[in-house]
Amino acid sequence: MRLENTSAIVTGAASGLGAATAKALAEQGARVFALDLPGAIENAPVVGGVSYVAADVTNAEQVRAAVATASEIGPLRTAVSCAGIGPPGRILSKRGIHDLDMFAKVVNINLVGTFTVMTLAAEAIAQTEPLEHGQRGVIVNTASIAAFDGQIGQVAYSSSKGGVVGMTLPAARDLAQHGIRVNTIAPGIIDTPLLASLGDEVRESLAAGVPFPHRLGQPSEYARLVTMLVEHDYLNGETIRMDGALRMAPR
């Protein structure tokens, strides 16, 4: 599927993976609607073809409004979910039990938010004119290698990302009759602004643990994989690890 003269939605798009993806889709000719929280949008880069929309992925009405706006500009063909959080916490620690509300919040943003965006975007994509072989659009969700190799203190994050992986195939099967493909990317250690705050020594140590290449992944590499998934019409229902063959140790 080609992106020229279509609309796309990207969540968590003010920085990191989302920002790189919004830029890459715009460069391929899509009109991108970049969703993020108001405070994040204030510091977002100015990119041609990218319009920022203040929206919380846990608020269905805000997401629905963004989908409607994107659909008015051009046929909505692509939706990419990058929004997510990952606060650490052990089930039991010296401070007591894992914060139950925080666990629910992580799942609500990372998993329920992804499902909300996917569902509301699919509703709009299904109304577009079919292309070759009946295809109408593509949805790309973001998991993590923590879905498979969750470390100590990642129980909430791993649970949420494991849910994203788990819904990939049934979602692809559900939406097949509408000509919509669904794939998931599970990134490893990516050099995002959050990771940059840890300092060079920590980042170098993390990079050394990657089998090959011995470096951190780049948001631009994630974005390239998204555009490949959009263009590759036979990839569907798949979760792709992008991690340099890294398998996370317990801690």
Q: What is the pLDDT of residue 192?
A: 86
Going by pLDDT thresholds of 50, 70 and 90, the confidence category of residue 190 is very high
| CA–CA gap between residue 35 and residue 86 (Å, rounded) | 19
Return the structure tokens found at 22: 């919004």
Residue in 31, 146, 16 with CA at minimum distance from that of residue 82: 16
DSSP string, 24-47: HHHHTT-EEEEEE-HHHHTTPPP-
Residue 247 confidence (pLDDT):
95
User: According to the model, what pLDDT value does residue 108 have?
Assistant: 98
Mean pLDDT in residue range 193-199: 72
The residue count of the chain comes to 251
Please tell me whether residue 187 adopts helix, strand or coil conformation.
strand
Do the beta carbons of residue 44 and residue 97 sit within 8 Å? no
pLDDT digits (tens, 9 = 90+) for 105-117: 999 999 999 999 9
Pairwise CA distance, residues 147 & 154, whole Å: 10
34 — pLDDT class (breaks 50, 70, 90): very high
Residue extents of the structural domains in the chain: 7-190+219-242
Contact partners, residue 103, CB within 8 Å, separation at least 6: 89, 155, 156, 159
Strands 76-81, 137-142: parallel, antiparallel or unpaired by DSSP? parallel
Q: What is the pLDDT of residues 149-182, one digit of tens each?
A: 999 999 999 999 999 999 999 999 999 999 999 9
As given in the structure block, the two tokens for residue 184 are 């998931």
Residue 166 structure tokens? 């788990």
Q: Is the pLDDT of residue 235 over 90?
A: yes
Neighbours of 184 (CB within 10 A): 28
Fold topology of 7-190+219-242: Rossmann fold (3.40.50)
Q: Residue 17 in contact with residue 142, Cβ under 8 Å? A: yes
Spatial neighbors of 229 by CB under 8 A, at least 6 apart, are 138, 140, 181, 183, 185, 235, 240
Which residues does 35 contact at the CB level (< 8 Å), separation at least 6? 9, 10, 11, 12, 13, 52, 53, 54, 55, 57, 63, 66, 83
Instruction: Indicate the range of 83-92, 196-205, 221-230 predicted with least confidence.
Output: 196-205
Is residue 13 over pLDDT 90?
yes
Q: Is the pLDDT of residue 198 over 70?
A: no
The string of DSSP codes covering 66-124 is: HHHHHHHHS-EEEEEE-------B-SEETTEE--HHHHHHHHIIIIIHHHHHHHHHHHH
pLDDT at 238 over 90: yes
Residues 49-79 have pLDDT tens digits of 999 999 999 999 999 999 999 999 999 999 9
User: Which whole number is the average pLDDT over 209-226?
Assistant: 96
Task: Give residue 200's pLDDT band: very low, low, confident or very high (50, 70, 90).
Answer: confident
pLDDT at 188 over 70: yes
Catalytic residue among 52, 157, 222, 234: 157
Active site residue 222: no
